Each structure stands twice: as C-alpha cells, then as structure tokens.
Amino acid sequence: MRDGLGPARVRLRGGPVLAELESRFGAGARAKVLAGEVVAADGAVVTETTVAPAGAHVYLYRELRDEVPVPFDLPVLHRDDDLVVVDKPHFLATMPRGRHVAQTALVRLRRELDLPELAPAHRLDRLTAGVLVFTTRREVRGAYQRLFADGAVRKTYLARAGVDQGLALPTVVRSRIVKRRGQLQAVEEPGEPNAVTLVEHCGDGLYRLTPSTGRTHQLRVHMAALGVPILGDPLYPDIVDVAPDDFADPLRLLAHRMEFPDPRTGRRREFVSGRAL
C-alpha cells in the first residue's frame, strides 16, 4: 500500500513483458521495470528480459493523473475494530475506478485513518450520497461482504423527484434490469424480474425507496420508469453531459438508513445518514 493505494493488477497478452507494458502504458513503464517496481504474481521482480504467458498478471503502481477535488466532507458515523461507517457525499466514488482514484472514499479514508486494509463491504454510486460501510481488516471482510451479497441488509433511501398526481403510490416496481459494459445507462428488458423496489411518497416530492435487490442504477431506473425521475439525474431518462468540476446539481438520492445483524456479534446494527436532500 502506498499513500492509500495498492498496486494495479495488469493481465498480460503474452510475450516480452517490458515491450507490452511500454505499448500499453508508455515510456514510464520502462522506468518502473528498471527500478524493480513491477512484480509477477509470485513476487518475482520483472526485468527487461522477462517473458510471460498470455493470461499472466503483473503488479505495478500507476502514475496518478490530476483529479478534480471533490469539495465535500466525509463524516465518520461509526468506527470500531471491525467497521468504519461514513456518510458519503455526492460526487465521491466509493473506490478507485476509471478516472476516479485518489478522489474516492476508500483512498481518502485509508489516508486519513491510517487503515491500509480498509475495504468497502458494498458500494454506492458516485452520485449517490449516504451511509457507506467499510471493513477495517482483511480477516473480517468476507463476513460483512456476504451480508450484502446475500441481501441480508435492509436499506432505505430517500429521493427528491417530481409529483404525478395520477401515480398510485405506494407501489412495488418489479422489472428486469441489465447494465452492459461500455454503456452508461442500465435498461429494462423483458424477462424474469431481477430488480424489486418499494416506492412510497412522503409528500412534497420526497420519496422513500426500499429495494429488496441491488441491481446497478436500480432506483434511478425504476423512478424514471414511473415517470418521476430523480432530480439531478444526468443519466435517466436522458443522458446529460456534466463537466467533472460541476458540483452544483447533485443527484437527489440518499442512502438514508441501513440495518443488518452483525455476523460477528449477532447484535443488530443500524446507521442513519445525517445529510438532507
């Protein structure tokens, strides 16, 4: 771990490793190899003459690009030996991906709390704010991640959207949602439903959303399908180009409350966001 970041894992096409890394990452890759900073999966240092088969992996620390700072705080709601729970702001990604690396909740917390093994138990979309749970140690990570994977966590979201007087609420929305690699939007398709959301109107354009599944962009897709898309959504129903330094119009979606039985102690855990919509 270096300054909150672990090395990147690179899957190789096969052949001389240095030539492939240079073709993919530029001249800087040669300097990393010569400095002994690229290693194979078994820990062997990659040299100028190393040859690897297709599908092998090497590890190296990437050079970070300049990122637009996300100008919002990341309050800690709870911390103990197993968990760190935060109130994530809008626009901050959960963990490194694509152009968002240092400006992520995971890297910020590793640096600020000096917890190199910190890892997310689940994810929130970059544009969604609210309760986000991390595990502090590798040996407890699996137990909490399984809770989320198995649907044993009750999540309640709040959202702001327009009001359709003809829309009968509460209602349970069931559909099949598919998110394909390379496409910004998830889509609803015919077939067996894999996404279920209870939608309730609390009045004055405030909605309570209770998902019983966790498909990508599920709440945003379901609200748009009902004809009341969430305010500030740059993807649904239509894609809107937003500058990376434009923080003026956040998605009005908040992971407000989270409840689950602790897999290590058996006691009930409950965390509530302090953010307003």
Catalytic residue annotation: 125
Task: Say how far apart CA 249 and CA 26 lie, in whole Å.
Answer: 37
Residues paired with 84 in a beta bridge: 79, 134
Phi, psi of 135 (to 5 degrees): -100, 150
Q: Which residues are CB-contacts of 88 (< 8 A; sequence separation ≥ 6)?
A: 74, 94, 105, 124, 128, 129, 130, 131, 132, 255
Q: Which residues are CB-contacts of 196 (< 8 A; sequence separation ≥ 6)?
A: 172, 173, 174, 211, 212, 213
User: CB atoms < 10 A from the CB of 16, how many?
Assistant: 14
Identify whether 170 is preceded by a cis peptide bond (ω within 30 of 0): yes
Grouping H, G, I as helix, E, B as strand and the rest as coil, residue 272 is strand
Token pair, residue 243, equals 């500058």
CA contacts within 13 A on the Cβ side of 155: 26
Pick the closest to residue 188 from 176, 179, 172 (CA basis).
176
**DSSP assignment of 20-45:** HHHHHH-THHHHHHHTT--EETTSPB
Sheet of 8-11: strand order equals 8-11, 57-60, 39-40
